[in-house]
Amino acid sequence: MKPFAHRTDPLRESIFTTISNRARELGAVNLGQGFPDFDGPQWLVEAARASLGGEGLANQYAHTSGAPALRAAIARQQREDWAAEFDPDSEITVTVGATEALYATLQTLVDAGDEVVVFEPFYDSYVATLQMIGAVPRPVTLRWPSFGFDDGELARAFGPRTKAVMINSPHNPTGKVFSREELERIGALAIRHDCWIVTDEVYEYLTYERSHREFVQWRSQPAIRERCIAISSAGKTFGMTGWKVGWAMAPADVSRRLRLVHQFIPFCAPHPFQHAFAHALERRHEYLEDFRREYRHRRDLLAEGLRALGHAVLPSEGTYFLQVYVEEGTEAFCRRLLERHRVAVLPTAPFYLDAASQGANIVRLCFAKREETLREALRRLGE
């Protein structure tokens, strides 16, 4: 047989899949993979059920750019919550989750040989997508414990072949929320090098110390907005990650080209769930206050419990992840927790290009779990 396409050579099974498979085999409490062990609100399930049984052809293909009701709801959400303006008809594209939005965006913007600045540790699909395109990731390391970056390292990452810079805030896996000052420094380099800015904002409502509004105000400045593709999704906010509905927001000329790419990947996102999430966005205010308070409680419960057991917990300003510094190295630590205590956590080494030098002593834990799950994990770790 002739060989597989060479662009698949760098790809490996996701660390999420590997850890979760082993956790299931051992009956472990899984704090590794980043999804809730509970469903979102029942009223949202009912909204999806109504969409499935309705008469509006929601079980057929949606328009490739997304159901009009959802695009309109996203535009209202951006305007009312963050004071950002997007035309729902020409500047918002609904995708199969934020991951497809990222994939389609990078396919739209980046050619083989182009360079893309990424902050490491990073969500693993960033570099996998760039590798499939044939682009070159240029990492800038967020260094613990504060997860700030060095201005000189950032400046050196940009060059004549830089096509884009990717910013994830709130940031997975560190929980960092980029400050306005940091964003201004990144934006100045993007403008100087005339490159695109791709923002991943799927945890926009999971901030604990300051609002995501500051981030959106930065990307709404004219010189940033004209070069920015902003990506988010509904799954993290409403606890329905399996429904896979996300969106990309960009100027009309960028969106037109993005939609050409998107139509040849999935054509459209799941239509019934688009209507359900449109309903959810309209009801978000009655939901989000409790949502954020409950997640703050889960974060604090897990962090305090880990500290009581002697672990060095790093600060988390956002997302639903905590990181822990371990002296023994992550491979041994994760294996010991899984085999001896039946608790699965995630090494962060795969989130770095140079895993040996940067991610060797940090593990990630997900607190998007029921309180009894978190308490059981802490009980097992204390044995």
Q: What is the pLDDT of residue 357?
A: 62
Q: How many domains does the chain have?
A: 2
On the question of pLDDT at 55 being above 80, the answer is: no
CB 315 within 8 A of CB 145: yes
Q: What angle do CA 240, 241, 243 make, to 5 degrees?
A: 75
Q: Are residues 146 and 259 in the same domain?
A: yes
* Average pLDDT along the chain: 94
In a domain, 48, yes or no: no
As beta bridge partners, residue 249 has 92, 230
On the question of pLDDT at 193 being above 90, the answer is: yes
Q: Which of 209, 207, 265 is nearest to 236 (CA)?
A: 207
Quick one: CA torsion of 200, 284, 96, 214, rounded to 10 degrees?
-10
Rounded Cα distance, 35 and 38, in Å = 9
pLDDT per residue over 24-38, tens digit each? 888 899 999 888 999
Give me the CATH number covering residue 371: 3.90.1150.10
Rounded Cα distance, 326 and 329, in Å = 6
Of 253, 284, 315, which one is at a domain's C-terminal end? 284
Of 284, 305, 330, which one is at a domain's C-terminal end? 284
In a domain, 52, yes or no: no
Q: Are residues 192 and 178 in the same domain?
A: yes
In a domain, 46, yes or no: no
Of 242, 258, 284, which one is at a domain's C-terminal end? 284
Q: Using pLDDT thresholds of 50, 70 and 90, give the confidence band for residue 356.
A: low
Q: Are residues 36 and 121 in the same domain?
A: no
> Average of pLDDT values for 158-176?
98
Q: What is the pLDDT of residue 328?
A: 82
pLDDT per residue over 220-269, tens digit each? 999 999 999 999 999 999 999 999 999 999 999 999 999 999 999 999 99
Q: Are residues 170 and 91 in the same domain?
A: yes
On the question of pLDDT at 119 being above 90, the answer is: yes
Q: What is the pLDDT of residue 355?
A: 62
| Domain residue limits at 184 | 57-284
Give me the CATH number covering residue 93: 3.40.640.10
Q: Are residues 306 and 275 in the same domain?
A: no
> Average of pLDDT values for 357-380?
92
Burial class (CB in 10 A: 0-12, 13-18, 19+), 13: exposed
